[in-house]
């Protein structure tokens, strides 16, 4: 890749089913009180999820389709007493490529979906991928 624009083909594998319908009601992170949710897989991707099981910790990548894509800096956590911070140094949803990264635990599953413990994404949010949390990702990172 030469650093220029490329033609990326990303397609959703499903979507979020959640009681959250308005961004003002969504917590900033799942651990701050997000409700349970469900990931409904598109029919062509149901077989891809066959080995996901209750109790599995997973990473869910979403496309934050209602986020702004032209914000360069924010006050972290929406706190105006904190200095403006470049968007890449925050977890704000508003970014050039609004990809959401969410860690969750599967609490139930059926043929077409997985139910997860908590998710701060809005109802209808496109899901790009689901990946297992690896055991080494649970351990603290080594620091020099």
| In-domain check, residue 142 | no
Taking residue 17's Cβ as centre, other Cβ atoms within 10 Å add up to 16
Is the pLDDT at 27 greater than 60? The verdict is: no
Exposure of 45 by Cβ count < 10 A (0-12 exposed, 13-18 middle, 19+ buried)? middle
- Give the predicted TM-score (pTM) of the model: 0.85
Q: What is the pLDDT of residues 114-125, one digit of tens each?
A: 999 989 889 999
| In-domain check, residue 88 | no
Is the pLDDT at 141 greater than 80? The verdict is: no
| In-domain check, residue 63 | yes
| In-domain check, residue 74 | no
Q: In the structure, what pLDDT confidence band is assigned to residue 143 with cuts at 50, 70 and 90?
A: low
| In-domain check, residue 5 | no
Report how far residue 93's alpha carbon sits from residue 99's, in angstroms, rounded to the nearest whole number: 8
| In-domain check, residue 6 | no
Q: Where are the beta strands (DSSP E) in the chain?
A: 14-17, 37-41, 57-63, 73-74, 85-86, 99-109, 113-116, 126-132
If you average pLDDT over residues 13-29, what whole number do you get? 78
Q: Which domain holds residue 63?
A: 14-67+94-134
Q: Specify the CATH number for the domain of residue 50.
A: 2.40.30.70
Q: What is the pLDDT of residues 72-101, one digit of tens each?
A: 999 987 889 999 999 999 888 889 999 999
If you average pLDDT over residues 105-129, what whole number do you get? 95
Report how far residue 17's alpha carbon sits from residue 15's, in angstroms, rounded to the nearest whole number: 7
Q: Are 78 and 28 in contact (CB under 8 A)?
A: yes
pLDDT at 79: 86
Cα-to-chain-centroid distance, residue 56: 16
Number of domains in the chain: 1
pLDDT at 109: 96
| In-domain check, residue 9 | no
Exposure of 34 by Cβ count < 10 A (0-12 exposed, 13-18 middle, 19+ buried)? buried
| In-domain check, residue 55 | yes
pLDDT, mean over the chain: 87
Report how far residue 35's alpha carbon sits from residue 116's, in angstroms, rounded to the nearest whole number: 9
pLDDT at 93: 86
């Amino acid at each position: 890749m030469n650093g220029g624009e490329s033609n990326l083909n990303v397609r959703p594998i499903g979507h979020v089913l959640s009681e959250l319908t308005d961004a003002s009601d969504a917590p900033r992170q799942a651990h701050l009180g997000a409700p349970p949710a469900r990931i409904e897989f598109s029919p062509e991707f149901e077989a891809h999820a066959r080995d996901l099981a209750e109790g599995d910790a997973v990473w869910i990548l979403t496309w934050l389709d209602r986020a702004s894509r032209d914000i360069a800096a924010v006050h972290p956590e929406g706190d105006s007493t904190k200095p403006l911070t470049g968007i890449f140094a925050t977890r704000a949803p508003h970014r050039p490529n609004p990809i959401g990264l969410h860690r969750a635990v599967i609490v139930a599953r059926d043929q077409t979906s997985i139910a997860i413990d908590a998710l701060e994404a809005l109802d209808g949010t496109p899901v790009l991928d689901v990946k297992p949390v690896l055991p080494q990702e649970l351990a603290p990172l080594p620091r020099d």
